[in-house]
Amino acid sequence: MDSPEIVQGIKARFPGSVSVSEPYPEEVCLEVDSGAFKDICLTLHKKLRSPVMMLFAVDERECLKRFTIHAVFINAKKGQWFTVTTAVPRETPSFNALATAIHSAALFEREIREMFGIEPAGNPDIRRLNLHNEVWPEGNYPLRKDFTAVEAGNSAPEYKFDRVEGEGIFEVPVGPVHAGIIGPGHFRFSVAGEPIINLETRLGFTHRGVEKLFEGMPYADASGLAERVSGDSSFAHSLACVRAFEKIFGVSVPARATYLRSIFLELERMYNHINDIGGMAVDVGFSFPAAYASIVKEAILQLNEKLTGNRYLKTTVVTGGIRHDINEIKTKILLGCLDGIRHDFDEAVKILTSSISFMDRVDTTGVLRRKTAEDLGVLGLAGRASGIALDLRSYDTGPYKKAKFKMAVEQSGDVLARLNLRIAEFRESCRLIGFFIDDLPQAKECYTTAAPKAGSGIGYTEGWRGPVLYWIKTDAKGAIERCKVVDPSFHNWQGLSYAVLGNIIPDFPLCNKSFDLSYSGNDL
């Protein structure tokens, strides 16, 4: 169904309750009465077959004497964003919870309650996510504008895990501290014999107050913070951030810069995909291809440094363009390295897929079925491995469209599907980079000066895990009044909890690596 038809249907069903605007060609904003908010969100959820992509609050008490709630959905066929906004009175901050009808809203509502003190009326689960009960005093809401620093305390009640009870049921706690350099997360397994019958995940241990840090920050400094939200997605986060500013300020990015951005985005995708493929090999004890994969990853990181001066592509993107052009010498380096990387990647994959024991470990392990993934709002690579054909690169009208980008989708939803998806996307990234270099515009302009102004908008990009989303509101000088960040990990951790059911605990590391979600990207 087309967007105008959906909007007309909503206006007809809720006469006098909806005000519609289209601030940008790809955004439709619906300001609705609080009584119609839940029903309109549910209508969009069903018509668009979209999860809740973002759900967040804004403190507007100082200027408008209210809070506002914003729910964002996507029209996957058109690449168009729908934002439903409703006012929440400051005296009785509450709104009708969506989670009872749309499960993908559940975690967002818990976050709104703990960060703003706005009650999602009807939500049966109001436990905290990031502000852990053991250390965070009640009645302090850090994303309110009048929040001031507080001292940690120990007066709050203990966090309540869901319990599975019965004869022969055992609980196995793992974490939050783990071996190696991965982030902290607590996993509580309930097992009956060997099979896992429930997994509950508790995160938030690396909460840093990122969205609060954005408040008041000049737009020119924001990409520097964005690239530190999740270190393995530095470029994707900084790109999504500056795209929001570019939309608000009306900046036209030079064509050469859009191609260079696409090249760097694919390089980030490649080094992470080969890292995960090697990690899967490690988790089944297959050390040789794991070592081979680490060589390929290192080659890509060294290439990143030769092109931009940074192995992880930091300080590369800015509002209006790109900092690092690729001259003829760098182009030869890129193409030469790409040939070797492609060859070594194919060799590593050949070693893996020719091993019967390895294929036996990944086939039918950690299955996340499509219906479950849709209900949970699982996105990105994990979603595509379960048959959900959504990749934001498909909506690009520039380099990706000219290169005829091919989306990879699997159906089985198991570890093998997520492995095969990484293999296909790595090879597609190599093809795309080759095309981008051949088609790179000759004009040397890589940057357009931005003229700040007040406004709000959604910036997005398809990072290697999935959609990275930034909703930003600015004042007249371009400083940030509110920034909402959604990393795909926030959606996908729940998917991992369902994918492991029926498997044994020794297969959990393999399932976990096949998702490879970010602790820091989740614990903003």
Check: CB of residue 460 under 8 Å from CB of residue 243.
yes
- Angle formed at CA 302 by CA 296 and CA 304, multiple of 5 degrees: 105
Check: CB of residue 258 under 8 Å from CB of residue 492.
no
Residues ≥6 apart with Cβ < 8 Å to 122: 96, 97, 99, 100
Give residue 160's pLDDT.
85
Strands across the sheet containing 186-192: 169-174, 186-192, 196-202
DSSP conformational letter for 460: E
Q: Rounded CA gap, 482 and 3, in Å?
A: 27
Q: According to CATH, what is the number of the domain 3-121? A: 3.30.460.80
Q: Give which of 114, 141, 110 is closest to 124, Cα–Cα.
A: 110
DSSP conformational letter for 403: T
What end-to-end distance do the CA atoms of the chain give, in Å?
A: 35
Give residue 154's pLDDT.
62
Residues ≥6 apart with Cβ < 8 Å to 10: 18, 30, 40, 43, 44
Give residue 133's pLDDT.
78
Determine the residue type at 72. Answer: V
Four-CA torsion 28, 67, 494, 155, nearest 10 degrees: 170
Q: Rounded CA gap, 149 and 142, in Å?
A: 8
Q: Rounded CA gap, 90 and 110, in Å?
A: 18
Residues ≥6 apart with Cβ < 8 Å to 504: 194, 195, 196
Four-CA torsion 498, 504, 510, 511, nearest 10 degrees: -10
Whether a cis peptide bond, with omega within 30° of 0, leads into 89 is no
Q: Rounded CA gap, 56 and 68, in Å?
A: 8
Residues ≥6 apart with Cβ < 8 Å to 377: 51, 52, 53, 103, 104, 491
Q: Rounded CA gap, 386 and 384, in Å?
A: 5
Q: Judge whether 3-121 and 213-522 match in fold.
A: no
Check: CB of residue 114 under 8 Å from CB of residue 123.
no
Q: Rounded CA gap, 16 and 256, in Å?
A: 46
Angle of helix 415-438 relative to helix 328-353, nearest 10 degrees, comes to 160
Strands 66-75 and 119-121, how do they pair? unpaired
DSSP conformational letter for 195: B
H or E stretch at 418: helix 415-438
Q: Rounded CA gap, 498 and 518, in Å?
A: 17
Q: Rounded CA gap, 281 and 273, in Å?
A: 13
Give residue 308's pLDDT.
96
Q: What is the CA radius of gyration of the chain?
A: 23
Question: In the CATH hierarchy, which fold is given to the domain comprising 213-522?
Answer: Cytochrome-c3 Hydrogenase; chain B (1.10.645)
Give residue 454's pLDDT.
96
Give residue 138's pLDDT.
83
- Angle formed at CA 10 by CA 7 and CA 16, multiple of 5 degrees: 110
Q: Rounded CA gap, 322 and 343, in Å?
A: 29
H or E stretch at 55: strand 54-60
- DSSP 3-state assignment of 439? coil
H or E stretch at 29: strand 27-32
**E strands in 250-300:** none
Q: Rounded CA gap, 392 and 363, in Å?
A: 28
Instruction: Return the domain boundaries, the chain.
Output: 3-121, 213-522
Averaged in consecutive runs of 10 residues, what is the pLDDT profile of the chain (524 residues)? 85 91 95 95 95 98 95 94 96 95 96 96 92 83 90 70 87 87 90 93 93 96 96 97 97 96 98 97 93 97 97 96 93 95 96 95 97 96 97 95 97 97 98 97 89 96 98 96 98 96 95 95 94
